[in-house]
């Protein structure tokens, strides 16, 4: 049998999707499965976006530009202007989801063996993108006991080596829901400027902040405009995960001229999806006001109910729509599988994402799960009740 590539063998499974076969089997057995494992909102996509695709008249479904349609990039430019951030259309390249944008960014600035510092826990697929590009992830650890606050500056600096090329943050954070303050961003600005590193900011959850928190984009800091790379997406902001449209933004012309080569190699982002996203950018402000109100209600409900379960510890998310919870079990993945294979109450069970896959450090997060509060309050209450009953039964067996 021919051998496989070493990076293919090393490619990590997604902790978000790896238990999917167990969930599918549970459904085939007649169970209702509440999905708290994946950030797939139940919020309706903007009607204006759906209608734009329905009403399009095309004789030929042609390639778009490799950098994305100009009309879409113009509207993204205007969107950023509403946050007092000035960018040009040439500083935006449309990608097939934020995932492709991240992969292009990594491939453009790092060679095999280079190092990328990321506060952990972090979005699990960062590990996959890094592995695919031969990059070594260097984690800087944050703790649930400190609500996953940004580690101190010396924790970053002691990890910087001659191989370090960039620091990557997700703000607001997936999976913790942490929102980096302006002062914390300023710390990172000082570090990347001092050590001449890139700062990559995954800002796809920009709108979703709570408790009076404010999102601070790295694009506001002109002193690192050559160091800054922003990753953005339509998936969560507009509840359009299936559109697979994101973008990479930077004022670094050499970097962008490199990214476009990767964009040309994959030809172009999908045409219909760009039409939908172009329309979505015209959505009224009240759309976000309603969505944020819904998520905040779910967040408060989730934290309140989880805190009632004996032995469960939970961080308080200030943004996005995820949290990390610590369970009174030794291995959360085993528990998550058991919930899908063995447990059910009234024909229902819950799918969670084991949090160990959101860490790069071995044996971290073994008793933690990531919970996505993307269900309506009624379903969320039912799902949390199932987790409570499941833990009780699991610990007694």
Q: Mean of the pLDDT values across residues 181-206?
A: 96
Closest-CA residue to 324 (of 168, 120, 156, 129): 120
* DSSP per position, 302-322: HHHHHTTSTT-EE----BTTE
Position 17 scores a pLDDT of 81
**Confidence at residue 397, expressed as pLDDT on a 0 to 100 scale:** 75
State both tokens at 235.
Answer: 């998936």
pLDDT of residue 202: 98
Which of 104, 107, 105, 130 lies closest to 117, judged by CA? 130
Q: 6-44+286-396 and 47-280: same fold?
A: no
Q: What is the pTM of this model?
A: 0.95
Q: How confident is the model at residue 393 (pLDDT cuts 50, 70, 90)?
A: very high
Greatest extent of the chain over all pairs of C-alpha atoms, in Å: 64
| pLDDT, position 251 | 98
What is the pLDDT at residue 12? 83
Return the domain boundaries, the chain: 6-44+286-396, 47-280
Burial readout 33-62 (b: 16 or more C-beta within 10 A, e: otherwise) = bbbbbbbbbebebbebbeebeeeeeeeeee
pLDDT of residue 150: 86
> What does the pLDDT look like over 328-354, one tens digit per residue?
999 999 999 999 999 999 999 999 999
Q: Measured between alpha carbons, how far is residue 314 from residues 62, 264, 289, 317, 327 in Å?
A: 48, 44, 26, 9, 9
Angle at 391 between CA 389 and CA 396, to 5 degrees: 100
Closest by CA position to 358, among listed 160, 176, 99, 236: 176
Q: Name the helix (H) or strand (E) containing 236.
A: none
Distance (Å, rounded) from C-alpha 93 to C-alpha 342?
A: 47
Residue 274 pLDDT: 98
Q: pLDDT-based confidence at 376, cuts 50/70/90?
A: very high
Q: Single out the residue of 77, 162, 84, 171 nearest to residue 123, CA to CA.
A: 171
Q: Which CATH architecture has domain 6-44+286-396?
A: Alpha-Beta Complex (3.90)
**pLDDT recorded at residue 10:** 84
Range of lowest pLDDT (15-19, 96-100, 310-314) = 15-19
pLDDT surpasses 80 at 15: no
Please give the Cα distance from 64 to 260 (Å, whole number): 14
Residue 366 exposure: Cα atoms within 13 Å on the Cβ side: 7
Number of neighbouring beta carbons within 10 Å of residue 329: 19
Report how far residue 189's alpha carbon sits from residue 390's, in angstroms, rounded to the nearest whole number.
45
Please state, in angstroms and as integers, the Cα–Cα distance from residue 161 to each residue in 28, 44, 194, following that order.
51, 46, 13
113: tokens are 């063996």
**What is the CB neighbour count within 10 angstroms for residue 258?**
16
pLDDT tens-digit readout, 120-129: 999 999 999 9
The secondary structure of the chain in percent helix, strand, coil, rounded to multiples of 5, reads 40, 15, 40
β partners of residue 156: none
pLDDT in tens, 277-313: 999 999 998 899 999 999 999 999 999 999 999 999 9
- Tell me what pLDDT residue 366 has: 97
Q: Write down the architecture of domain 47-280 according to CATH.
A: 3-Layer(aba) Sandwich (3.40)
């Amino acid at each position: 049998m021919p051998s496989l590539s070493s990076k293919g063998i090393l490619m990590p499974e997604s902790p978000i999707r790896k238990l999917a076969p167990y969930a599918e089997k549970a459904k085939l057995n007649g169970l209702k499965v509440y999905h708290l494992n994946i950030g797939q909102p139940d919020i309706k996509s903007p009607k204006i976006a759906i209608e734009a695709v329905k009403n399009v008249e095309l004789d030929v479904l042609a390639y778009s530009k490799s950098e994305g349609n100009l009309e879409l990039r113009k509207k993204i430019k205007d969107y950023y202007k509403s946050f007092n951030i000035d960018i040009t259309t040439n500083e935006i390249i449309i990608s097939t989801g934020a995932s492709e944008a991240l992969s292009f960014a990594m491939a453009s600035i790092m060679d095999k063996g280079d190092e990328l510092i990321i506060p952990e826990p972090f979005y699990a697929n960062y590990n996959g993108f890094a592995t695919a590009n031969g990059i070594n992830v260097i984690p800087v650890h944050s703790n649930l006991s400190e609500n996953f606050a940004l580690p101190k500056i010396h924790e970053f600096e002691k990890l910087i080596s001659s191989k370090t090329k960039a620091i990557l943050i997700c703000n607001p954070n997936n999976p913790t829901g942490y929102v980096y303050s302006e002062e914390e961003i300023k710390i990172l600005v000082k570090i990347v400027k001092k050590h001449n590193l890139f700062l990559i900011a995954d800002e796809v959850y920009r709108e979703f902040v709570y408790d009076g928190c404010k999102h601070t984009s790295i694009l506001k800091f002109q002193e690192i405009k050559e160091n800054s790379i922003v990753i953005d997406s339509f998936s969560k902001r507009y509840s359009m995960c299936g559109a697979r449209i994101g973008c990479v933004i930077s004022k670094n012309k050499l970097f962008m001229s490199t990214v476009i080569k990767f964009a040309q190699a994959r030809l172009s982002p999908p045409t219909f999806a760009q039409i939908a996203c172009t329309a979505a950018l015209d959505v009224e402000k009240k759309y976000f006001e309603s969505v944020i109100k819904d998520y905040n209600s779910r967040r408060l409900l989730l934290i309140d109910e989880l805190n009632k379960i004996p032995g469960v510890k939970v961080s308080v998310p200030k943004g996005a729509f995820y949290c990390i919870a610590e369970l009174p079990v030794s291995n959360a993945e085993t528990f998550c599988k058991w919930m899908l294979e063995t447990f059910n109450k009234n024909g229902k069970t819950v799918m969670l994402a084991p949090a160990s896959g959101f860490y790069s450090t071995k044996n971290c997060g073994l008793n933690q799960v990531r919970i996505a509060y993307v269900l309506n309050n009624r379903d969320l209450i039912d799902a949390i009740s199932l987790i409570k009953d499941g833990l009780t039964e699991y610990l007694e067996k």
